[in-house]
Amino acid sequence: MILLLATFASLMLSTVLILAGHGLSSTLIPLRADLAGFADLQIGLISSSFYVGFVIGCIFGPFLIMRAGHIRTFAALVSLMSGAALLHPILVDPLAWSLFRAITGVCFAGINLVVESWLNDRATNENRGTVMSLYIICYLAATMGGQLMILGFDVATFVPFAIASILVSVAVVPVTLTKAAQPAPITLVRFRPVKLYQTSAVALIGCLFIGLANSSMWALAPLYATQVGYSTNEAALFAAAIVLGGAITQWPIGRVSDRIDRRFIIVLLGFSAAVAALALFSMESGNFWATFSIFLVLGMASQPTYAIVAAHAFDHVEAEDYVETSSGVLMSNGIGAMIGPTVAAGLMFSVGPAGLFVWVAVVELALAFFVVSRLLIRPAEEGLEKTEFEYGATSNMGAVLTPDPLDVEDPYVIPPEEFPAYEQDEGIAEEEVGDLPYRNDDDSDPPINGEGQDNSRLPPD
């Protein structure tokens, strides 16, 4: 395990730093926006803008990697994301903040593609599940750590934005200084909703509902807490409780879903999340531990659902369709996430802060009832060979994580030798040594080493 961790140490360290900065800024921005007097609907639009950028980044990120290479793309996106974090306290305007969050979403999606393609390339068939699980654990822990950093800062000052920017900026160092080879394939996102619906309606519609609900909670739970009278520190703890709840239940619920029709688990989670959301809607504010406990339960019920839906989708496709399926459920989730915070913020304005949980309850109930209808239309298949639940492969981080290695024969999987950036690097290398004389003085062909590389083009003695 120690050797395995050492192999990915630089990449994991960079990922942790980025996620800590992202977690801090994601919790900070709605709180600071409320303090600046932004309307609830404006805060919802700012939150939705991040997911607009994320979807754009998923679509166009691979082309950027092909143009510039993995490391240069990573460095550029990290720098841009860091700059966007610093711009928020400099230009306090709802429209500007929406633009900054959209830029952050584009960068975050592209960084995910770089990191996940790198992990997929460095992992082997024997340790792939372990590597991806470690990645998700780091992902959740770093995100919660970033959310909790706000406990030590005054959100009215420039300092927390600066800390978020510094964390993201420093993340570029381990990757750019690594001696590891750049990763192999990346994937071009292919979203065919009709085909995905025909393969698994629960996968397409379920991920849309999940995006509607979860993005609203992630973005607006801190805002709800401060508006009902809790401190910013308590608001940060509520946001972290949602992530913590999902981290606790995702793996055990996934393993249970291996043994029964996963749709029953989705129905159970949907109804449970709706009950928790309605409990938050109806309860009186002021009892911190009671509220924290319900937020934790809400996270336990709502956060694992994406993984179960993704696993259900993999159950119904062949291995060669994993990449397209993974991309499809991610895009569906992203489309829902673009809409959710804006609608939820509108309800918070018309109903009150607890309107957030009216929205979450309605969406979770809609998810549960939709899956029940699919159970009536398409009963469980006897003898269905399921893919074993993979903690990493069913995450909603990016479209590169799949149960199996990426297949370079797939037209939507691009190996690096076809990247213009890497072809250019090879051309420069050849040009630099082209005029050097061969060390052998006769007219024989230059010797070739065992890997097909010419080692004779060295300066003369």
The DSSP string of 66-118 is HHH-HHHHHHHHHHHHHHHHHHHHHS--HHHHHHHHHHHHHHHHHHHHHHHHH
Task: Answer yes or no: is 441 within a domain.
Answer: no
In a domain, 446, yes or no: no
Write the pLDDT tens digit of every residue in 192-222. Answer: 888 888 888 999 999 999 999 999 999 999 9
In-domain check, residue 100: yes
What's the CA gap between 405 and 122, in Å, rounded?
Answer: 10
34 lies in a domain?
yes
Virtual torsion, Cα 299, 300, 301, 306, nearest 10 deg: 80
Instruction: Give the chain's residues under pLDDT 70.
Output: 1-7, 123-129, 180-185, 381-405, 422-461
Q: What is the pTM of this model?
A: 0.84
CATH number for position 33: 1.20.1250.20
pLDDT of residue 394: 56
Position 444 in a domain: no
98 lies in some domain? yes
Residue 142 lies in a domain: yes
pLDDT for 129: 64
Partner residues linked to 187 by β-bridges: 413
What local confidence, expressed as pLDDT, does residue 345 receive?
Answer: 95
Distance from C-alpha of 138 to C-alpha of 395, rounded to nearest angstrom: 13
Select from 328, 162, 136 the least CA-distant residue to 250: 136
Give per-residue pLDDT as tens, 262-311. Answer: 899 999 999 999 999 999 999 887 889 999 999 999 999 999 898 888 88
Q: SS3 string of 355-367?
A: HHHHHHHHHHHHH
Q: Residue 443's pLDDT is what?
A: 44
Residue 206 within any structural domain of the chain: yes
CB 231 within 8 A of CB 350: no
For residue 286, the enclosing domain spans: 9-178+188-414
Number of structural domains, the chain? 1
Q: What does the pLDDT read at residue 2?
A: 57
